[in-house]
Amino acid sequence: MIESLGLRIVAIIHSNLEDKEDVIESESPVLTGKVHRLVRGEDVSRREMVQVLARVLVRLGSK
pLDDT in tens, 5-38: 888 899 999 999 999 999 999 999 999 999 999 9
What whole-number percentage of the chain has pLDDT above 70? 97
pLDDT range class, residue 52, cuts 50, 70, 90: very high
> Given a cut of 80, is residue 2 above it in pLDDT?
no
Contact 8, 54 (CB under 8 A): no
Contacts (Cβ under 8 Å, ≥6 apart) of 44: 35, 38, 50
Task: Tell me how far CA of residue 11 lies from CA of 41, 59, in angstroms.
Answer: 23, 13
pLDDT on residue 62 = 82
pLDDT on residue 1 = 61
Provide the whole-model pTM: 0.83
